[in-house]
Amino acid sequence: MMKFGVDIDGHSDIFGSMPEIIAYYVKHMYLDKFKEQGDDEFTYTWGPRAKALFPEKNLMKLMAQMYPDMDENKTKVLMRGIKMAAEE
């Protein structure tokens, strides 16, 4: 999530406590949370409920529209995400 500038241990003026909101999304299956073997940090992926209600590729397209001035590297990362989501 840090790739997107989200401090998961912090506080958001919009969402409040990030640990609480992330725990909510994990509990309600919008996010999957896991650790890779030998890794100290958690990885978050699109959960089954989110996939069913709002396909990831639609979110990626929305983000691209919301941030048209995104730098080239971030745009490439976003487009890879769109391509991967479309292939699922």
Domain of residue 22: give its range: 1-53
Is residue 25 predicted with pLDDT exceeding 70? yes
Residue 3 neighbours by CB under 8 Å, 6+ apart? 77
Contact 67, 60 (CB under 8 A): no
CA separation for the pair 31, 22 (Å, rounded): 8
CA separation for the pair 30, 84 (Å, rounded): 18
Q: Are residues 44 and 68 in the same domain?
A: no
Q: Are residues 12 and 33 in the same domain?
A: yes
Each residue's pLDDT tens digit, 31-88: 999 998 888 888 888 889 988 888 767 777 787 788 888 787 887 787 787 777 666 5
Q: Are residues 70 and 35 in the same domain?
A: no
* The token pair that represents 67 in the structure block: 């941030």
Q: Are residues 42 and 71 in the same domain?
A: no
When pLDDT is averaged across residues 18-30 and rounded to a whole number, the result is: 93
Domain count, the chain: 2
State the pTM of this model.
0.60
When pLDDT is averaged across residues 12-26 and rounded to a whole number, the result is: 87
CA separation for the pair 50, 53 (Å, rounded): 5
